[in-house]
Structure 1
Amino acid sequence: MNILYIMFDQLRFDYLVCAGHPTLKTPNIDRIAAMGVRFSNAYTQSPVCGAARMSAYTGRYVSSHGAQWNGHPLRVGEPTLGDHLRDISVGCWLIGKTHMNADAAGMARLGLAPDSIIDARQAECGFDVWCRDDGLWAQGPDGLYDAKRSPYNEFLKSKGYGGDNPWADFANAGSDGEDMASGWFMRNADKPANIAEQDSETPWLTGQAIEFMEQATGNWCAHVSYIKPHWPYIVPAPYHDMYGVDDIKPVVRSDSERTDPHPIYGAFMQGRVGKTFSRDDVRDTVVPAYMGLIKQCDDQMGRLLAYLEDSGALADTMIILTSDHGDYLGDHWMGEKDLFHAPSVKVPLIIYDPRESANSTRGTTCDALVEAIDVTATIIDASGGEVPEHIVEGRTLLPYLAGRVPAQPRSFAISEYDYSKHPVCSALGTTPRDARLFMVATHDWKLIHAEDGFPPMLFDLLNDPDELCDLGRDPAYTAQRAAMYGHLHGWGLRMS
């Protein structure tokens, strides 16, 4: 059995029809859910790209692998999914984004040659690379956001798109009549991208995935990792105006959240992104574009499904579909990600297992608490390997797919966030070593612990599912906070 491990970037857990979105159209992702199991309580290990992905690729918590922010290198020698799969003769290939930064100092210390296979795999998060493109090729006063070669830019140049950086000038810029409109200004999100739809990033990466599968031999796991619907929030025609203001879900926020908020939460709300997304005019422009990006992603899932069907591969290919984190989109007076409200920390997770053992669960929803690192363990298990529990901290989800309860189901989920590189750290006067947050969530409660003497946050998920009332400083909930700290303490004592 081969495995397609599909990851979108910044796709909210609830922005799919199968997850209850009332106006979006996602028939192809919904079809995958109807073929498999949708997990409705899946949590990312960190609500920021780099740390979340390093957890997904190692199967380990952020505080175990140590790469806690975008651009922080994954230390040399950290075992990854590719290492575990190659041990059982399964290839592990990258098609798209990882956000991986290599531990150059560690490799130099160990004398790893830049042109060796070991060095190449260390630099690519353990994957063999069919096509890597991290998808953010912007340039600012400090230079390029990502200085690596962009294969997508090379593709655009081969198609006749001009300039040094057609990613910025065409794929992620708007078209305003005869003039280019910057994709970085959210007021331009309602404009079509300055590119033919078939040449935009999402279809291009789907084409790369199909080319890989056409030539692949032996058993393989392919990580097809899309950059969208991550910002810039701009999408080509016809997707740019498929949705309008009337299609937007009501914003989830309350004025009470801005009355004496938790200091860290308050600082994020007052940051540039928070203040921008608290404006209705921004939401009215950006959210329809975000929905258009998702619809384009869904259409490309239809293209992948058609290829698998036509080639006869659907019957022996597991499909795992997820995201690295979500997007606030103005909920809780926030934008993008960073904190632990559901729109940011929960992720979609759908698994289609083609084997007969999964027949009884097709089309079902599982509300068990699961984590992104569980996908790593699941892939190892599904590939015929034994999950190395002394290294991989995730737990296989195959029992759920077979209609069984695992021997050790999770009683709580964990997510972590190191904000030492975020402007909020200096705004609060927090020392970098103490700029750390920990979330522990059960089905009914969620607690966020903050280092440096800050109070906790606490939400009653049963009676306040929208997480609008912080009970972290309410004396009536002292016992509940203690119970949640008990979970966090037990997790802190794990073998890691």
Structure 2
Amino acid sequence: MSDLPIRKVLFISADQWRAECLSAVGHPAVKTPHLDQLAREGVLFRRHYAQTSPCGPSRTSMLTGMYLMNHRSGRNGTPLDRRHTNIALEVRKAGYDPTLFGYTDTSPDPRYHAPDDPVLKTYEGVLPGMTVGLQLPDHMAPWIADLKAKGYQFRDRWDVYKPQADFVRPSGRGHSYAPTLFSAEDSETNFMGNAVLRWLSVRRDEPWFVHAVFLRPHPPIIAPEPYNALYDPATLAMAVRATSAEEEGCQHPFLKLALASLREKGAYDEHYPHDHLEIDEAEVRQLRATYYAMITQVDDQIGRLMAHLKETGEDRHTLVIFTCDHAEMLGDHWLWGKTSYFDQAYHIPLIIRDPRRAADGTRGTQIDRFTEAVDLMPTILEWLGRDIPHQCDGRSLLSFLEGAPLPHWREEAHFEFDFQDIAHQIPETTLGIASDQCRFAALRGRRFKYVHFAALPPLLFDLEQDPFEQTNLAEDPAHAGTMLACAQKMLSWRMEHAEHVLSRMFITENGIVEQAPRRR
């Protein structure tokens, strides 16, 4: 670290961004020139996976370095045990004031709050240890107040993402082509970028840690002008799916339940007027085109942030990370959102730009090894020269940035999903299982992917022959050996990573003997 007298961290996260949606990895349509440049200056990880979804649980894994099976905050609203540390608390020990722009969707531990404390009325809390530079939870109050100050007429959050009522859609364009009521300059994406830039403008000569969380391309699927017209839906690839939603749902009871949940209008996209399981191909393509447009809009804001760092010379001292919480089905398998066991919901982007001379030899490379969201906290802490807490399940990625050989690295990615419904019991009632049984874990290797449910049938996919996971081989006798091998690997993974905060310590007559967690 001697070549970095001042160390800064810009940790950027988007929401619901598919890994393939970068022109740097060869997407035939999506334009992300600023992230492509970041990849040329750093390292792009092609096989990076989220640990879970939705937003709160996934960000909890990313920000604590823990698998879902250990932190157990499995739903938006499941409390996070206060005994767990996190990236914000750890960098504070190094003298940083970690500052959040956006949201972390952290549900607080209710044992440390009075029953009527307002923080127990929402899952959109702030990660302990974070200083708030700008909080943008779902109500978006700071941004909406800014819009009102500029003369926009909005009653509340419900109005803000309505499309322009008098907009005339040209032939061949679907509903989501209609732009927002606000301009691109006044969008929440630009509002976020402005807030970060204002904060950075008065901190050029000091170390800082910023976690900037952009909402987009999370629904609602709508973009301001001119982004709404950026992609022609007729030129885009169609979603990969069975001939009907009914046929798709036959693959598994959980998939059938997930598809049924999309029948409720507004469940996925608040102002979209159609049933997502009934829309035609033109509407599907338009939704995909608008989703790509939102991606490009975020990319433009990242370009502004990087331009600032280069203009001030701070890029020579700043570790820059770009990733997201989880991905998006985007109509594949007839699904929208992230409630599934398919790769499209968990395969996410990761780009890391390390300014150290030790990373010069890897600039512009793309890594084809399996990496996971839990690796980011150990990576940041090692880069800052800090100890990695025992709770962390991930491993530092600095070896990849330094081009050092890694003889022992994971051969699969792992993700889990908790679909219990404590408040309404819909999965429990529909599937006839208990809340504690509403879980699955997936082992995603290069060829085979195994999905184990606590109380429902398992799934097995041969990704070489069936990359879109359309044929379940779990009941095929010819694959019984593969099923057994995958189940054994998953059991070994869970045994190795069961919570080990205290298990790495041992009391002796000479006091505590402690085994340090593996950094790499």
Question: TM-score, normalized by length of structure 2?
Answer: 0.84
Identity value in percent = 30
1:474 aligns with 2:476: yes
Aligned residue type for 1:401: L
Describe how 1:142-221 pairs up with structure 2 within 5 A.
150-165=141-156, 167-170=157-160, 172-177=161-166, 188-216=175-203, 218-221=206-209
3-state SS of the aligned residue for 2:210? Answer: strand
1:50 aligns with 2:56: yes
> Displacement, 1:206?
0.6
Aligned residue pair count? 466
2:16 aligned residue: 10
Q: Which runs of 5+ in 2 are unaligned?
A: 1-6, 120-124, 269-274, 500-520
> Displacement, 1:387?
1.3
1:11/1:348 contact within 8 Å kept: yes
1:22 aligned residue: 28
2:249/2:259 contact within 8 Å kept: no
Could you say if the C-alpha distance between residues 394 and 214 of structure 1 is closer, same or farther in structure 2, counting changes exceeding 3 Å? same
1:12/1:343 contact within 8 Å kept: yes
- Matches of 1:379 and 1:252 in 2, distance apart? 37
1:40 aligned residue: 46
- Matches of 2:358 and 2:132 in 1, distance apart? 32
> Displacement, 1:447?
0.6
- Counterpart among 444, 452, 455 of residue 447 in structure 2: 444
Could you say if the C-alpha distance between residues 232 and 60 of structure 1 is closer, same or farther in structure 2, counting changes exceeding 3 Å? same
The 10-residue stretch of structure 1 (340-349 or 457-466) with the greater mean CA deviation from structure 2: 457-466
> Displacement, 1:427?
1.9
Describe how 1:14-163 pairs up with structure 2 within 5 A.
14-108=20-114, 123-134=126-137, 136-137=138-139, 150-163=141-154
- Matches of 2:83 and 2:370 in 1, distance apart? 30
The 10-residue stretch of structure 1 (346-355 or 96-105) with the greater mean CA deviation from structure 2: 96-105
2:443/2:451 contact within 8 Å kept: yes
1:86-123 Cα distance to aligned partner (Å, 9 max, x none): 122223111112112222333449xx9x9xxxxxxx95
- Counterpart among 433, 455, 458 of residue 456 in structure 1: 458
2:502 aligned residue: none
- Counterpart among 264, 270, 278 of residue 260 in structure 2: 270
Question: TM-score, normalized by length of structure 1?
Answer: 0.88
Q: Which runs of 5+ in 1 are unaligned?
A: 115-121, 138-148
- Matches of 1:242 and 1:129 in 2, distance apart? 34
- Matches of 1:408 and 1:85 in 2, distance apart? 28
> Displacement, 1:76?
2.1
1:429 aligned residue: 432
2:385 aligned residue: 384
1:491 aligns with 2:498: no
- Counterpart among 199, 203, 218 of residue 230 in structure 1: 218
3-state SS of the aligned residue for 2:94? Answer: coil
3-state SS of the aligned residue for 1:459? Answer: strand
3-state SS of the aligned residue for 1:416? Answer: strand
> Displacement, 1:77?
2.9
2:324 aligned residue: 323
1:339/1:345 contact within 8 Å kept: no
- Matches of 1:473 and 1:295 in 2, distance apart? 42
- Matches of 1:258 and 1:399 in 2, distance apart? 42
> Displacement, 1:412?
2.1
1:355 aligns with 2:334: no
The 10-residue stretch of structure 1 (5-14 or 76-85) with the greater mean CA deviation from structure 2: 76-85
Could you say if the C-alpha distance between residues 319 and 227 of structure 1 is closer, same or farther in structure 2, counting changes exceeding 3 Å? same
- Matches of 2:331 and 2:277 in 1, distance apart? 5
2:409 aligned residue: 409
3-state SS of the aligned residue for 1:230? Answer: coil
2:231/2:289 contact within 8 Å kept: yes
- Matches of 2:278 and 2:81 in 1, distance apart? 38
> Displacement, 1:462?
2.5
1:372-392 Cα distance to aligned partner (Å, 9 max, x none): 01011111111111212x211
3-state SS of the aligned residue for 2:220? Answer: coil
3-state SS of the aligned residue for 2:306? Answer: helix
Could you say if the C-alpha distance between residues 407 and 93 of structure 1 is closer, same or farther in structure 2, counting changes exceeding 3 Å? farther
> Displacement, 1:151?
1.9
2:442/2:452 contact within 8 Å kept: yes
> Displacement, 1:277?
5.0
Could you say if the C-alpha distance between residues 278 and 407 of structure 1 is closer, same or farther in structure 2, counting changes exceeding 3 Å? farther
1:369/1:443 contact within 8 Å kept: no
- Matches of 2:111 and 2:178 in 1, distance apart? 44
2:506 aligned residue: none
